Amino acid sequence: MNKGGIGVIVTEKAPAKINLSLDTPMRYLDGSPRWDMVMTSIDLADYLTIEIHRRPQTIKIYTDSGFLPNDQRNLAYQAVHILKTRFHREEGVTVRIKKKVPVAAGLGGGSSDAAAVLRGLNRGWQLGLSLDELAKLSLTIDSDVPYCIYNHTAHVTGHGEQVTLINAIPHYWAVVAKPSVSVSTPIILRQINYEQIQHLDNVGIMTAIEEGDWRSAFDKMGNVLEPVTMPHYPAIKFLKERMQKLGADFAQMSGTGPTVFALCHNESRAKRIYNGLRGFCSEVYQVVLL
């Protein structure tokens, strides 16, 4: 790797996240929710190639998805821009993204791409920043980006900037299914009725996970946005119920939806759920928790 980083090409994997739990105790004065979530990552990922070149000041983003923006609206672009500005880097940067994570799915695909760019440029430019420092820089991009810097089971609070890693989950299979509906995150967030939320015991959930007591974790896990999102999109409820009928240990919507995931302690059960959903849903994946 040369000192200025010119000519350097780095690759990064950008895994999707799922919400093992999602709660919000209150709204901030600006109307945004204060989060209280337990998140983990899965081995469904986008793949990025980041190239640093001499042409000054240009940021180019290419994706193999026909309907994603390639300009400053792309979260990967914003990640390049933040590091270029902060460290006064004159080089051009080209990012090529192979999208595998469904878009606008509640799986944090865009946030994970941005986090991967930050990690990749940190290496390519030899900036020497720690993951904590990268996470701090990343918050202005999107609330899920700090978590995606680590991609490790974690308690995530505040606007998403407080990330506390917890012991990794033992090997578990997951099936992830995205119904073909588009959920608008801002619209869902505006509809949260804070008086009606049944809050979750996230401390209990984390203790159970760390102790490997999955039965107890499943009893406590939840997503307080399910009652907000599901009534608008019956397909989400249908997929969740189907996963339960097919024998999932646990099934839940991720983020603001519409993706639903099932967790299974054995692979054959996960395969059965995967096969049982393929006829109903075009975007379904059998994966493992990272």
Q: How many CA atoms lie within 13 A of 280 on its CB side?
A: 18
On whether 279 is known to bind a ligand per the annotation, the reply is no
151 and 112 Cβ atoms separated by less than 8 Å:
yes
Question: What count of other Cβ atoms lies within 10 Å of the Cβ of residue 188?
Answer: 17
On whether 41 is known to bind a ligand per the annotation, the reply is no
Nearest-approach distance from CB 272 to ligand ATP, in angstroms:
27
Of residues 47 and 271, the one with the C-beta less far from ligand ATP: 47
**Which tokens hold the place of 27?**
């709204």
Catalytic pick among 36, 113, 144, 249: 144
User: Which of 254, 23, 14 minimizes the C-alpha distance to 158?
Assistant: 23
Dihedral of CA atoms 73, 181, 40, 143 in degrees, nearest 10, equals 30
Question: What count of other Cβ atoms lies within 10 Å of the Cβ of residue 242?
Answer: 19
Distance of CA 63 to the CA centre of its chain: 18
Rounded Cα gap, residues 241 and 64, in angstroms: 33
Nearest-approach distance from CB 139 to ligand ATP, in angstroms:
13
- The yes-or-no answer on residue 144 being catalytic is yes
Rounded Cα gap, residues 250 and 266, in angstroms: 12
Nearest-approach distance from CB 102 to ligand ATP, in angstroms:
7
One character per residue 185-224, x = contact with ligand ATP (rule: CB under 6 A): x---------------------------------------
On whether 146 is known to bind a ligand per the annotation, the reply is no
Nearest-approach distance from CB 268 to ligand ATP, in angstroms:
29
Task: Say whether the peptide bond before residue 69 is cis (omega within 30 degrees of 0).
Answer: no
Q: Does the protein bind ligand ATP through residue 108 (CB under 6 A)?
A: yes
- The yes-or-no answer on residue 271 being catalytic is no
Q: Does the protein bind ligand ATP through residue 113 (CB under 6 A)?
A: yes
Of residues 113 and 226, the one with the C-beta less far from ligand ATP: 113
Contact region for ligand ATP (CB under 6 A) — 50-58, 104-112, 160-168, 274-282?
A: 104-112
- Per the DSSP assignment, residues forming a β-bridge with 165 are 154
Binders of ligand ATP among residues 41 to 70 (CB under 6 A) are 68
Q: Does the protein bind ligand ATP through residue 75 (CB under 6 A)?
A: yes
Q: Does the protein bind ligand ATP through residue 76 (CB under 6 A)?
A: yes
Residue 105's φ and ψ, nearest 5 degrees, are -115, -10
Residues that bind ligand ATP (CB under 6 A): 68, 73-76, 97, 103-111, 113, 142, 144, 185, 255-256
Q: Which residues are part of the catalytic machinery? A: 17, 144
Which residues contribute to the annotated binding site for ATP?
Answer: 102-112
